[in-house]
Every structure is written in C-alpha cells, then in structure tokens.
Structure 1
Amino acid sequence: MADFHEFYPLRAHNTFGFDSHARLAAHIRSESDLVSALSDPRAAGLPVVVLGGGSNVVLTGDLDASVLLMEIPGYEVGHDAANWLVTVGAGENWHATVGRTIADGMPGLENLALIPGTVGAAPIQNIGAYGVELRERFHSLRALDRQTGQFVTLDLDTCAFGYRDSLFKRDGRDRYIITAVTLRLPKVWQPVLNYGELARELESIPAPDAAQIRAAVIAIRSRKLPDPAQIGNAGSFFKNPVVEAARRDALSAQYPALVSYPQPDGRYKLAAGWLIDQCGFKGLDDGPVGVYGKQALVLVHHGGGTGAALLGLANRIADTVEARFGVRIEPEPVIL
C-alpha cells in the first residue's frame, strides 16, 4: 500500500509558500508507488492532484484530495542519427537537468535555464523562454493512462502542444500522469539568439556556446524574477495574450509604445507585463500579496497571506487591463 500521510502540510510544496494541507499525500518515487497510491482504498473517491515543484499552482485552501508528490528520479541517454535522446524522470529538477545535459555535451536546453519546477511538469505547460519552447526539444513521454490503467508512450503530435498549452491542459487533463520525459537534443547544435533581450546580454561574445547562453539566461532571469526561497512567487503569473493583427494594429495606433511580437499564423502576441505596467500595478503592495517591483508579470506573497487573496488581486489586474485595452489576460498557474 502507498505510504499516505494525513492532513499533510503543503507549504513546502508550493513556491508561493501558502499554508495548505492535503487530506492525504504520498511521495511517489517509482511507477509502482504511483500504481499503489491510485489503487489504495484510503484514497477511494478522492480527487487526485499531482504536485511536482509546486511552481505553477496557487493553493487557495486545504485540498480535500489525494495529493501525489512526484519524485520519480532518472536520467538515461540514448540517440538516433541526428539527436541525443535523454530520458529524465518526472521528479527531476528542470533547471538541474538543463545544466546536466549541457555539462554532458548535449546542448539545446540553455534558453530554458532557471525555469522552476520538475521535468514532469514541463510538457503540461509547454514551458518556453527566450525564443525556445519545450516542444522544439521534445521527443516523447511516458505516462500512466488513468482511463485504461496502462502505461503509455505519447509522441510530439499526440501531446498537441500550443503556447503554454498541451493535451494535458485540455482533453488529457486528469487522465495522464507523466512519469518520464524524453528530450530530443540535436547533435548538430545551433544557438537560438533571436530574442532581443538575450541577444543584447550576449553582444560582447561573438559566438557564445551553450554554457554562456545558459549563464546569460540565468543572469537575465535573476535580475527580473524573485527567488521563491526569498519571496513567494510562481514566476510569470499571466500569459501573454495573442490577438488578431487588426486588433494589434488598432492598439498600436492608440498606444505607439505597445510591445508585440508577430506569430507564424499572422496574429500578434502582446506583452502582458507591458499592459499591466501601463495600468500602474508594478510594485503594488496589497497587504501580504502584491506585484513585484521589477517585473509586472510576477505576483508575490510576502508571507501571512492566502491564495484567495492573491487570486483576488489577479482578477483585479485582469479586469483593469481588459477595461483599458479590451484584451483579457489569463493566469498561467493552475488554481487549486
């Protein structure tokens, strides 16, 4: 039987640091632990919540659920003709994995350095930063299909990745529990330096290698984003909204400084941080919660607050942005 703990404290399992307890919680360190926890009669009838690093969730209260703390380890290297294929356990730390693959001579993840969370959570969000998304470095994943009770392998097309989106946030939500991810890292590596901020950071280095790009990404992120160990946060709280070209053009005519990025489908991604900043929220303190002074996209918890209070602030920000710009911004984290 699974090693379940009752009324288990989750403060250390969410990077906002909100006090919350799980009715039941179990540490999942193998696929057999996962099968055992799901079949345990003590958890019968309870919803299942999987938590990795807790860097993409807002806990708004205690969870009347069976919480599975994903800690499956693993790191195996294979290859095909063109790529290194690195299979990593879902419980491994993402940032540490980026560093390890580069140290092992398999670059490709450097733009995704310092993103908090576990490897198993990365496909759910299709994490992305500085010109690279996970789907560009993804081969397949292994997961338990709760509908059939079988372990399955899902390829790139099946995962249906989109901007901060995937199968696991839509039709596959609550169906699949990811236990391992296989990354596809090209043997012939090309740096991705088309993101302006990253290019400027590296302009003094004529031909940066992967380690130098990783270091530059860490430097940028460290300047912009607070360390969750010091200030509770979940990184960028809002998604950048994507709008039709006509809508972007109308906004740009009204607001010439509007920050936007063209998308392959002809639409434009707007910088949510810029929209929020224009509404005067950057640096706002709202009691124990607030908006980070260096980056308007980041909501913070100074201690003693609740997820409900943070969600109230988030809704206020979204309402204000929509009233001014006619564009609705949506949160990235999962609200529990």
Structure 2
Amino acid sequence: MQALNTFGLPAVAEYYTEIHAADQLKQLEQWLKHHPMPLLLLGGGSNLVLADRVPGLVARIMIRGWQLSDLPGDHVRLRVGAGENWHATVERSIRQGLYGLENLALIPGTVGAAPVQNIGAYGVELKDRISAVEVFDRHEHRQRDLTPEACRFGYRDSLFKSSEPERYVITAVEFCLARQFTAEVSYAGLRDGLGDGPVTSERVFDTVCRIRRTKLPDPLDIGNAGSFFKNPVVSVEKYEQLKHRFQNLVAYADTGGYKLAAGWLIDQCGLKGFALDRAGVFAQQALVLVNLGAAHREDIEHLSMHVQKVVQERFGVILEPEPRFYP
C-alpha cells in the first residue's frame, strides 16, 4: 500500500479489495459476516498514517459518477461519486460554470473522503457546500441520504470521523452550487494573492493553487499528508494571556474563543526544517510533516509527539493531529 498513501509509508494489507459500485457493499458485509475482521475504508490515502502491516481488510472506494439537476433560481444539485478525485472535481465544476468550490482547490484526496474531515481552506468549509451525503449504513444494511445536520460537521470533524467512524461508507456526495459566481475572499492571504483586477472563479482557483503550491509539497515529490495539525481553539482568557506574552500572535476570533495558527506556533519554536530520524518539518511550511525518505509509521509518530511536546512547553497549547493513525 505504499503507493496508496500520500505519506509514502511502506504498508502491507492483510486483505485488499476495490469497491466500484455501491451494490458491492452488501456483498462486502456478507463476506465480513463470515470472515470477521477489521475494515479500513480507503479513499486517496491523503489523511492516513499507516503501520507497516495493516490487519484485516482494506476496501478502496473507487465509485465514479457525475450527475447534475437544476434547483430553483440559479442553483444546481451536483452528485459526485465518492471515488472521484477531489481536485479534479473542483476543476471540472468551474469549467462547467458551477461555482462554490473554488477555494477548496488542490486539496488532496477523494470526494468521499472530503466530508469525513470536513475539509476547509481560505474561508470556506465543505459543510457550507453540501446538501446531502449518500452512504451505505452498515448497521441497517441499506443506502441512505444524510442531511448536513445529520453529518454533525465541526472543525475538521464529522459524524464519520468521531461519532460513528465505523458505521457509514460514503458512496456519493451531493453539492448545492451556483451558476452565478460569488467570491469568498475573506481570507487575507487570498485577497493579497488576488491583487488588483476583476475577481473571477478562475482567478480564485488559480490563486488558491498557486498559494498552496508555495506552501505545501507535492506528495509525488515528497511524502506528506498536507496540514498535519489542527489549528487549536483556546478560550478568550488563554488568548489574552498568550497575546500579552507574544505580541505578534496569529489568531482569529472563533465561537467562544480564538483559533490559533498551528503553523505559527510550530515556527516560533524553531522547528521549521527540523528533522528527527527519517521524518521532518517541511522547511517552507511548519504545519506540514514530511517523509524524508524511507520513513515508517514510528518516524512520523516520534516527530509528531516531539512537535506537540515543544509547542505545549512554550505556549501551553496542545496540538491535535489531523491525519488518522491506523491501526
């Protein structure tokens, strides 16, 4: 599975299969009934830190599909199969004059993996663009459509990640997009990157891609899982304490407190470019951990724990990893 995870970690699955149609999931459940074992659902492998040996069955979701239907006004409903590439989906939607996903360009992974993490970037979260998530319910053995409310979306979180991580298999995602473009440029870095001139969907898309490429390494060149740590949210009191000690603290108002920039915290600890064993902190972006070559699961673990320890000692803030460590 080394080629199936963006960290490029060596991993061997005990059993492996591919799911190309939602109907296969009933067969999968029948097989598991007679061969009880752990099940790992795999998308693009962009949010995983795998052990050398992966017990049980790995089922790679490769369901394709692209369906459009009109909604009242200038909106459309777009249903996309879970196995479609996320960035390619964003690019295709813009080409067809469907707007709303521009800010989420170049995020690695598949469409089906996107709701699990509630991906977000440059002022947009996926939950704001989803109208339904089509799933196979492993408890009830049937297909269901879940509303955004039922998905319990939170910051880099969802029902599929925290509440009931083993219950649902995402088979398709339904988006509500617009035929009239409305720019979302509240994120300062995106506004600065756009500069002067008319703000079009194509320019937002190109600018997001350009910014991401300057900050994040291509997994094909150097193994990584994108942003490795969540931006921690602290109380107003904790924020004020930190602001008093660190005048240039990077933070944003959030519900009930402030969201701190995890990359800034790591950078202030002098860890940008730091290496430990066969893993390191990316020299251009402290929020990204990278495979320096022949790294294994334990190398990523050791580096992650070291970064958490150093940041907690200096700022009194606990960083939480975004990727899933499996098993």
Establish whether TM, by shorter chain, passes 0.5: yes
Q: Quick check: 1:213 aligned with 2:213?
A: no
Q: Quick check: 1:19 aligned with 2:30?
A: no
Over aligned residue pairs, what C-alpha RMSD do you find?
A: 1.2
Measured in 1, the distance between the counterparts of 2:229 and 2:251 equals 15
Judged with a 3 Å threshold, the aligned counterparts in structure 2 of structure 1 residues 258 and 41 are, in CA distance, closer, same or farther, namely closer
Match of 1:46 in 2: 37
Contact in 2 for aligned 1:52/1:121 (Cα 8 Å): yes
Q: Quick check: 1:178 aligned with 2:139?
A: no
Contact in 2 for aligned 1:137/1:183 (Cα 8 Å): yes
Which of residues 302, 308, 314 in structure 2 aligns to 1:324? 314
Q: What SS does the corresponding residue of 1:119 show, helix, strand or coil?
A: coil
Match of 1:6 in 2: none
Which of residues 272, 289, 295 in structure 2 aligns to 1:299? 289
Measured in 2, the distance between the counterparts of 1:323 and 1:16 equals 28
Matches within 5 A, 1:122-141: 122-141=114-133
* Matched letter for residue 92 of structure 1: E
Contact in 1 for aligned 2:103/2:205 (Cα 8 Å): yes
Match of 2:79 in 1: 87
Deviation digits for residues 102-147 of structure 1, max 9, x if unmatched? 0000011000000000000000000000000001101001101111
Matches within 5 A, 1:1-336: 10-40=1-31, 44-82=35-73, 83-205=75-197, 207-263=198-254, 265-336=255-326
Measured in 1, the distance between the counterparts of 2:33 and 2:253 equals 51
TM-score (norm: length of structure 2)? 0.97
5+ unaligned residues in a row in structure 2: which ranges?
none
How far is the alpha carbon of 1:312 from its aligned partner? 1.0
Measured in 1, the distance between the counterparts of 2:278 and 2:299 equals 9
Q: What SS does the corresponding residue of 1:31 show, helix, strand or coil?
A: coil
How far is the alpha carbon of 1:266 from its aligned partner? 3.5
TM-score (norm: length of structure 1)? 0.94
Q: What SS does the corresponding residue of 1:229 show, helix, strand or coil?
A: coil
* Matched letter for residue 219 of structure 1: R
Contact in 1 for aligned 2:65/2:84 (Cα 8 Å): yes
Q: Identity, % of aligned pairs?
A: 44
Judged with a 3 Å threshold, the aligned counterparts in structure 2 of structure 1 residues 152 and 218 are, in CA distance, closer, same or farther, namely same
Contact in 2 for aligned 1:124/1:165 (Cα 8 Å): yes
* Matched letter for residue 199 of structure 2: P
Deviation digits for residues 62-114 of structure 1, max 9, x if unmatched? 11111001110000011211421100000000000000000000011000000
How many residue pairs were aligned? 325
Deviation digits for residues 252-275 of structure 1, max 9, x if unmatched? 110001100111x24110000010
Contact in 2 for aligned 1:43/1:66 (Cα 8 Å): no
5+ unaligned residues in a row in structure 1: which ranges?
1-9
* Matched letter for residue 253 of structure 1: H
* Matched letter for residue 181 of structure 1: V
Measured in 1, the distance between the counterparts of 2:281 and 2:33 equals 40
Deviation digits for residues 179-222 of structure 1, max 9, x if unmatched? 000011134431000101100000122x2111110000000000
* Matched letter for residue 137 of structure 1: R
Measured in 2, the distance between the counterparts of 1:286 and 1:324 equals 19
Judged with a 3 Å threshold, the aligned counterparts in structure 2 of structure 1 residues 246 and 71 are, in CA distance, closer, same or farther, namely same
How far is the alpha carbon of 1:42 from its aligned partner? 8.9
* Matched letter for residue 115 of structure 2: P
Q: What SS does the corresponding residue of 1:120 show, helix, strand or coil?
A: coil
